Every structure is written in C-alpha cells, then in structure tokens.
Structure 1
Amino acid sequence: MDNQNLKLENQICFKIYTAEREITKLYRDLLEDLDVTYPQYLVLLVLWEKNSITVKELGQKLFLDSGTLTPMLKRMEGNRLLERKRSLEDERSVIISLTKKGEELKQKAECIPSQLLQNLSTDYEELKNLDHTLTTILQRIQKVKEN
C-alpha cells in the first residue's frame, strides 16, 4: 500500500525547514557587510524597534531560551553592538540595549529586506500572504503548547 502521507514531498514541515535554511543562506550574504550572523540580525531588529529590553522579553519575541541567547549576546557585547546590565528594580533581570555602533548598523541594514525580496524574485503581495499564513500557523502552535 502506497501511503502518500509519508512521502517527503508531501511534508509541509520539510518545505518550511528547507525554505528557512535557504533563506538563512541568502541572509548570510546580505549580512556580510554588517559582520553579524542571522540570529544576531534578529536581535538587532528587535533592539532597533525598542532600544532597551530584558533578555526574557527578547527570548519571548525570538522564541529562544536564555541558554541560546546568552552566549550570542555575550559575543555581540564583545563586538560592541550592545551592552548588558542588571536591572536596578530586579537584579535577576538583565537589560539589553544598543551601543552607538549597534545603532549605526541600522542605516547599513535598511536595504536588506528589499534585497532579500529581490533575491527571492517575489513581490510584496505574495510575501504578505505567506506572512499571514505563517503567523496564523505560529499562533495555533502557541495555543497547542499552552494546553
């Protein structure tokens, strides 16, 4: 009996996984001038929106645990992109904020989203639809995890 459900080409998770890996490779080339990795770029995106955030909040936004975040944040601090300080209100909490160097990278990064779109040979509407679908899937996954 030929079970179509178990064919690799019918696995949406495999297509998402493969697309993510290939998009990350495209980002690697685009981020070369900034001298940051893709996960570091994600941290910068959050900090460019909100200059100061706790490690816990950052982890929630990026769906990363502190064991993954802490070594990356230490490297970014070593590269003078951000600084980490203990909160005055709660010593258990660490606050991340951009340095001047980290803020200056924002201007260099402004072209990255449009360059990625160009590299993907896709238009804004197609990407907007994909964004909506993936956001819906992520929200459903979060609900399942909460139950």
Structure 2
Amino acid sequence: MTRIALIAHDDEKPEMIDFASDHADYLDDIEIVTTGTTGKRIEAETGVDVERKQSGPLGGDLQIGAEVADESLDGIIFLRDPLTAQPHEPDISALLRICDVHDTPMATTRSSAEYLLTGLALDDGVDLTA
C-alpha cells in the first residue's frame, strides 16, 4: 500500500489542509503519516485519517526521516515556508538528504505535491486527473 508523509510549516498549514481536502478521496485509500500539529489539523478539518508522529519541534520530522531510511515511505510532501520559517519548525535539510540517499521523492511546493501525488496514484492505478 502507498504510504506518504505530509509536513507543513506553520504558514503553509492552510495550504496543506486545502491540498488534503482536494485529494481526500485518494488520501483515504493510502497510508498517511504526519508531524503532530499538521496531522491534527488534517484530521479535524478534512476527516482524512493519519498516523501522527511527534510535532516538528519534538522530533516528528526525524521520525519521518527514519521511515525513509527504513524504506517504508513512498514520498514526502513538505510544504515549507522558504522565507519566514521559524526556528521551532522542522528543518528540511536532513529530510532532503535522507530522501536523496534513498531515492524517495519529496515535494516542497503545492505544484510539485500535485505531481508527486498524481504519479503515486497512477502507480496505484488511480487517475486523479479524471
């Protein structure tokens, strides 16, 4: 079964909620892992079930990185704020490195997230463009 991680910096959480809402039908059919606060909001605002790790400041991004190292994730969508990310928010550099080492795709913008999800859905035999 397809398994992806969803992470968002504070300013990008509304965009992640919108993304999850737009793709709720497909996301309900795959396994989703999230950092704590992002996952809490996704569940509350879209009804999509997720497995929540710790919040970013408490190491949730590291827990997700460990899943990449264990090759148990098919991709990561990390909507980040490249201009005003706060010190308490997850750092993307370690996740990028582990994704590169294990050839795991990571999307960092809404556009690239759409492509990543579409590609994974096609692998599952689902056409999100229909």
* TM-score, structure 1 as length reference: 0.28
- Structure number with the higher strand fraction is 2
RCO higher in structure (CA 8 A, sep ≥6): 2
* TM-score, structure 2 as length reference: 0.30
Q: Flag the structure with larger Rg.
A: 1
- Structure number with the higher helix fraction is 1
